[in-house]
Amino acid sequence: MGKGLIIGYDLLKDYCRISWRYEDQEEIKDLKLTDSEDPYPVKNSICKKKGEDTWLIGGEAYQTALFGSGTIVDKVLRLVSMGGHATFEGITYDAEELLGYFLRETLAVLYKEAGMKTVNQIVFTVQHLENQVIDAVIRCARSLGIEKKRIHVISHTEAFLHFVLSEKRELWTNMTVLFDLSQEGLNYYSMEVMRGIKPNIAKAERAFLEEGFSPDILDSKAGQRMADNIMANCVERVLANKTVSSAYLSGLGMNTSMQWGNGFLKILCQRRRVFYIDNLFARGAVLSGNTFEDENAALPYSLMCEGRIDVDITVDVIQGVQKRTMILATAGSNWFETKAAFDFIPDDESSLKLTVRKLGETRKTLLEVPFDGFEFPGNKLKRIGAVLAFTSGNSFDITLKDKGFGEFFPASGVTIRRSFVIE
């Protein structure tokens, strides 16, 4: 038995998949709620038993609701995204509370299967990085006794990156692609390592394919033929003129693609290795947890994908008599974890000047935040506090606040805020 757990949660709007491993073992396991239930997926549903403070998940939740012994709410994460709520026996619960109950119950199953409750790292991966969902997931995990430094949220794109880079190098010598099918439709992911520049960059992107379909159509022979034709057209279109080493299939219905998808598989398998992987994103989340757990396990690449910033932001300062460059943001960092705070004393300056350089480029851009509104009693007689925080992968805010200068020049309370979008 390992020393602690590294857990990956793939959270979609209507269901989730969960994988985990012991911190000192390499084998990744997929969670199933009971011996009789499929390990994937687990519906994001929570049921409250009538007259009791008992919350149920999985098949037990639906059976209890079916027999009228409880009330069930589906698609809890979708409810969180909408800022919604649900009412049980006259009591209203907000979506975040329900998500907390769902995570508590799924973790209880995992703890029982693993034989321990020590969480070294828990990584949630979501298709869309929404502030409301990110904050709710982190708060829920913390409410369950997990330290904040052990909780992480990454995009599906990043989980895909970690999964592919854990495979044999021959599978990602050239581009690697993924077709993932969910209730929302068909998503296409591509990944490649950009060599010949420093640092080396592993880049992944996601695209929603408008011509996709719902997995529900696979329930009929006619729907299966339609799905095969749609997939064949998608594969031909998106892979045209691309050199692809390997392709992956994941998601609802893709595990039976050999029964309904002979046409598109024939195209996809031409000069490529093709795999179906259960729990690909959850497993990728576990693999990303390795890098959070052990600095020596960090990938030898800067990651460029949804959820990561692709710029370095610096400011030139003088400390003592020496001029130096202070790093405020580093390319490859998670945008929602990137924040810098510092105080400075302006000297004959009318603005704060930030230098922005995109990953893999030498060109630099200068951004300025004017000191308009601040009153300066004299050079070096004003202290300003600055806070830089990203609001998305390509935008950030910088806030300047007058902090005064000792007893003779008290703080005025004036605050300046500027927002920037990185093109």
| 213/116 Cα distance (integer angstroms) | 41
Same-domain check for residues 278 and 205: yes
Q: 383: which 2 tokens?
A: 């202290």
Task: Answer with the one of 146, 180, 197 that is the final residue of a domain.
Answer: 146
The verdict on residue 331 lying in a domain is yes
Number of folded domains in the chain?
3
Give, as one character, the DSSP assignment of residue 41.
Answer: P
> What contacts 204, CB < 8 A, 6 or more positions away?
157, 158, 160, 161, 164, 189, 190, 191, 303, 304, 305
| Helices 280-293/156-165 angle, 10° precision | 80
The verdict on residue 272 lying in a domain is yes
CATH code: domain of residue 97: 3.30.420.40
The verdict on residue 296 lying in a domain is no
Number of C-beta neighbours around residue 87 at 10 A? 10
Q: Is the pTM of this model over 0.85?
A: yes
The verdict on residue 354 lying in a domain is yes
**pLDDT score of 192:** 95
**pLDDT score of 378:** 59
Same-domain check for residues 138 and 190: no
346-367: b (≥16 Cβ within 10 Å) or e? beeeeebebbbbbbbeeeeeeb
**pLDDT score of 33:** 74
**pLDDT score of 40:** 60
Same-domain check for residues 246 and 169: yes
Same-domain check for residues 118 and 164: no
The verdict on residue 303 lying in a domain is no
**pLDDT score of 346:** 85
Per-residue pLDDT tens listing for the chain (423 residues)? 458 999 999 999 888 999 999 998 999 999 987 655 555 678 899 999 999 999 999 888 999 999 999 999 999 999 999 999 999 999 999 999 999 999 999 999 999 999 999 999 999 999 989 999 999 999 999 999 999 999 999 999 999 999 999 999 999 999 999 999 998 899 999 999 988 777 789 999 999 999 999 999 999 999 999 999 999 999 999 999 999 999 999 998 999 999 999 999 999 999 999 999 989 999 999 999 988 877 666 788 889 999 999 999 999 998 877 899 999 999 989 998 899 999 998 877 889 999 999 988 889 999 999 988 887 665 566 789 999 999 998 999 999 998 887 677 778 888 999 999 998
**pLDDT score of 404:** 81
Same-domain check for residues 241 and 275: yes
CATH code: domain of residue 353: 2.60.34
Residues 179 and 254 sit within 8 Å (Cβ to Cβ): yes
For residue 238, the enclosing domain spans 159-282
**pLDDT score of 181:** 94
| 107/19 Cα distance (integer angstroms) | 11
